[in-house]
Amino acid sequence: MSDANKNPKTGHQVIHSYLKTIDGSPGVYRMLDSESRVLYVGKARNLRARVSNYARPSGHSGRIARMISNTASMMFLTTKTETEALLLEQNLIKQLKPKFNVLLRDDKSFPNILVTATHDYPQIKKHRGAKKEKGNYYGPFASAGAVNRTLNQLQRVFLLRDCSDAMFESRSRPCLQHQIKRCSAPCVGKISPDEYRKTVQDAEKFLNGKSTDIQGRLASEMAQASEAMEFERAAALRDRIKALTQVQTAQGINPQGVAEADIIALHLDQGQACVQVFFIRANQNWGNRDYYPRVGPDVDAAEVLEAFIGQFYDTREPPRQLILSNEIESPDLMVEALSGKLGRKVDIVVPQRGEKAELVDGALRNARESLARKLAETATQTNLLKGIADAFGLPGPPQRIEVYDNSHIQGTNAVGGMIVAGPEGMMKNQYRKFNIRGDDLTPGDDFGMMKEVLTRRFKRLLKEDPDRSLGMWPDLLLIDGGAGQVSAVASIMREYGVEDIPMVGVAKGVDRDAGKEEFYRVGQRPMALRHNDPVLYFIQRLRDEAHRFAIGTHRAKRAKAVGATPLDDVPGVGAARKRALLAHFGSAKAVGRANLSDLKAVDGVSVALAERIYAFFHERG
């Protein structure tokens, strides 16, 4: 890897100077500015040829010309193949987030449906994350909503349980799910293991796209039950067939000629992009999601789509086929990279006619409509930010507003919440929670809590972004409270030397009426906005969102504390052994009172662990 050039000059001449030190190997290059910040990451089949293109003084697009003019140094990493270079390029883009690259900003995992395999009566449930639990996984689904809809449909048709194993074992009578005909109540023996296993197999056939076979068999069983005058069973089968028909109708797009594919359509407009992804599995539509990658004003569709695909599948398993709206720059490399990840051939097609082209047209229409809505929302958001700047005398529309709130019950399980808003609305991936640690705080001391939250926030900012170059610093702080809170926050900011960040306290008026908020700023009289001012509504939304986030975080912390037991602190006692101990003794208190021989009798608890548990409780007194 080459060392960064220490020459302070920038531009194509700097780039030209590297031609002496690189050869025609494949690899990845980085372009850096005068402060060593990465401007761009790219791959090349031939590094020398690619760099020589940048060394030319003219013939570049506006974006590339700006990038070249800012380049003060370059770094290189050679690879054995161009495919390796493609994979490394996308990893570095996600890690470094260079200014001039197309960047996918949403990298959440997708949920799956899991049919467990560790119980006589398998459970069906939503699963997200690593596939460590034994069972069969079906997905991905585009969203939690898509999974929940499918789970509801499966429960109506196949009557499978969704309760945990612990809940299953504790039941002595059927639950509400059985009463509303969503579960066959295996927990109390309303269905035999063999019969339940058949319904599980049917559900898995459905998830594999074989619903027609199931429907035919159910119809045959209903006819047999009717002939045998088992009218109650016949009616139950009729209800299941009806539910299955409704499921098939509700699914909408169910392509006949596409068994497993992601349909990816791109629409570019006004320097912004929307990528729409439809998930087709087992000839069924399992939902869609839109993405808004960061692009420049003069990027072409091939570059955007290739960057999106490379980053999208970096941490996800690709399907057997990608159906695209546009060609990409290096389809052969992408096929090789994705096939290597999946362990079997992945096809990339850009259809011109037929069913696949119709599917792409549908995804493209969604992309156009989604981007139009987003552009309209962005325009509205821009006006609101300008209105905030005018209302509070800011030098310009804020690009990052941070809003803080605390939540607790008489000082217990106290948390602080920070939400962030900017030109594109709520920036949920920037939200942060703060578990209040201050042991010396008086219960309910909101001033002290706010001080702790802001202190931790600014300490971290000063450490991670001391020169304010990464866009992590706020342009405006909104604090829930009046003059006292504003004064407390101002003293914290003075302490850390960040007095140049505008701050506004938001407090309800004298009669606590929403809509009559008063705004407090350091050294200025309180002010109010017109009752019907859109800026007032916007600030109320921000404050309410901060309140919602803080309360949700507090409730999660409280629920976790309620479910905690002393067993959580015993080394070597994980979730499975904790369940076994509680099932055997009934409570954590009873585990603490148990003698050593009783502990050794628990299934799954070794002699050494039994001695450790016994010592833990008895040494504590």
Q: What is the pLDDT of residues 539-559, one digit of tens each?
A: 999 988 988 888 887 677 666
Q: Which residues contact 397 (CB under 8 A, 6 or more apart)?
A: 382, 385, 386, 388, 389, 423
Residue 448: its pLDDT value, please?
75
3-state secondary structure of 555: helix
* Strand-pair partners of 30: 41, 75
Residue 599: its pLDDT value, please?
87
How far, in Å, CA of 67 to CA of 235, rounded? Answer: 70
How far, in Å, CA of 173 to CA of 180, rounded? Answer: 14
How far, in Å, CA of 337 to CA of 346, rounded? Answer: 9
**Which of these, 134, 121, 244, lies nearest to 190 by C-alpha position?**
121
Supply φ then ψ for residue 91, to 5 degrees. -60, -45
Sign of CA dihedral 367, 372, 373, 378: positive
Helices (H) then strands (E): counts for the chain: 20, 18
Q: Which residues contact 550 (CB under 8 A, 6 or more apart)?
A: 405, 406, 407, 415, 416, 417, 433
CA atoms within 13 A on the CB side of 200: 24
Q: What is the pTM (predicted TM-score) of this model?
A: 0.71
User: Is 608 buried (19+), middle (13-18) or exposed (0-12) by CB count in 10 A?
Assistant: exposed
**Could you say which residues of the chain have pLDDT below 50?**
1-7, 250, 410-411, 512, 620-621
In tens, the pLDDT along 84-97 reads 999 999 999 988 99
DSSP letters, 316-369, are S---SEEEESS--S-HHHHHHHHHHHHTS--EEE---SHHHHHHHHHHHHHHHH
Residue 592: its pLDDT value, please?
82
- Do residues 505 and 486 touch, judged by C-beta distance below 8 A? yes
* Strand-pair partners of 32: 38, 73
Q: Please give the domain boundaries of the chain with CATH numbers for all domains.
A: 12-96 (3.40.1440.10), 117-250 (no CATH), 260-372 (3.30.420.340), 401-560 (3.30.420.340), 566-619 (1.10.150.20)
Q: Is the peptide bond before 140 cis (omega within 30 degrees of 0)?
A: yes
Parallel, antiparallel, or unpaired for β 321-324 and 260-269?
A: parallel
CA distances for 419 relative to 81, 404, 545, angstroms: 44, 7, 7
